A = this chain, B = another copy of it.
């Protein structure tokens, strides 16, 4: 007989979930390295390593206690496992933001923003949603929002930060011609994009499944399994819809769009996968894929230059996914969902804007035109990603 079987099993399960999420670190790294031009690959990878290291460390030293009040706020699983699981989330916010402004950002200023997010901005949002909740009892209390694994808490948060960054930093040099025409800047390595997207997909099983919080009862086991199934279905449906829409529209298959569609579906389904019945994610995720196909070219036209499609995947679908819970789950109120979306946006967007603005002014976050022309790799890293592969012009 075991003492504390649920403590043991849930700790084990949380570690399992956390490990899956860590696969998202190389996942984001490969996705972004594949989507940018060869001359920026090394720096994008350096940024990804930096984010995991700096964001996690900031969260460990400062953010975690701020978010949850203390290291001992729960006793159902090992506190270290609980921390690890939460820590695994942090970097994602900055990944979303850094991906969207890649090919034009410098590394040190990005590290400063990473500290700000890991120690302060993200913990604030966790505090008022999943954590200690300093807004408890106030009008702004949004803890009633139903957001299992962070359509709003993670994805929109990252998306708002990115939107602020794009406003401040502008487009990549050469992205828009003098006459305003959009110049296409194709991805440099499609296998990496695909690999990255699938690693993210797998990480999502841990993200959402682990967010159920426990597996050690029949109900929880079912909830975890349903959550993972619904998560997966959201991704499948997002991919299929994006696939069909790009084909009907362009008579070609655009794999970067299809994968973004899958990720959009995954984001969309993230707020309520434990509450949706089995076929609902087909709608929620499918809409997620459709939104991506719609918004990627739209943002492009609006000159919100986002090389990896992060605005469409994370911000648009983070919002959609949070609302979708109200649509498809009776017990969830539209108002609570909407309030959650708005409060988070109203905190993260201006906060990020100010922080990024200041960082950009003082430490020059945006690489200048000349630097963008030669590529961030040469300027910041002094190292080419593929020095032996002859570059085609």
Taking beta carbons and an 8 Å cutoff, which residues of A are in contact with B? 1-9, 11-16, 18-20, 22-23, 25-26, 29-30, 33-34, 37-38, 41-43, 45-46, 48-50, 52-54, 56-57, 60, 77-81, 83-84, 87, 107-108, 186-192, 194-195, 198-199, 201-202, 205, 209, 215-218, 220-222, 224-226, 228-229, 232-233, 235-237, 239-240, 243, 247, 250, 252-256, 258-259, 262, 278, 282, 380-392
Known: A49-B239, A49-B255, A388-B391. 18 other contacts (CB 8 A): A2-B6, A8-B215, A8-B220, A12-B221, A22-B205, A26-B198, A29-B195, A30-B195, A37-B388, A49-B258, A78-B221, A83-B229, A108-B247, A186-B383, A190-B385, A254-B381, A386-B389, A390-B391
A232 x B389 contact (CB < 8 A): no
- Once bound together, how far apart are the Cα atoms of A20 and B215, in whole Å? 19
Kindly list the 10 A-B residue pairs having the minimum CB-CB distance in the complex, ordered from nearest: A80-B225, A78-B225, A26-B198, A81-B225, A390-B392, A53-B239, A11-B221, A390-B390, A252-B382, A190-B385
Smallest distance from the beta carbon of A340 to chain B beta carbons, Å? 27
**Per a CB cutoff under 8 Å, which of B8, B83, B252 touches A381?**
B252
Residues of B within 8 A of A216 (CB): 2, 8
Smallest distance from the beta carbon of A7 to chain B beta carbons, Å? 6
- Once bound together, how far apart are the Cα atoms of A19 and B53, in whole Å? 24
- Once bound together, how far apart are the Cα atoms of A64 and B57, in whole Å? 39
- Once bound together, how far apart are the Cα atoms of A235 and B25, in whole Å? 13
A45 x B255 contact (CB < 8 A): yes
**Per a CB cutoff under 8 Å, which of B52, B194, B221, B228 touches A84?**
B228
Complex: chain B residue closest to A7, CB-CB: B218
Complex: chain B residue closest to A233, CB-CB: B60
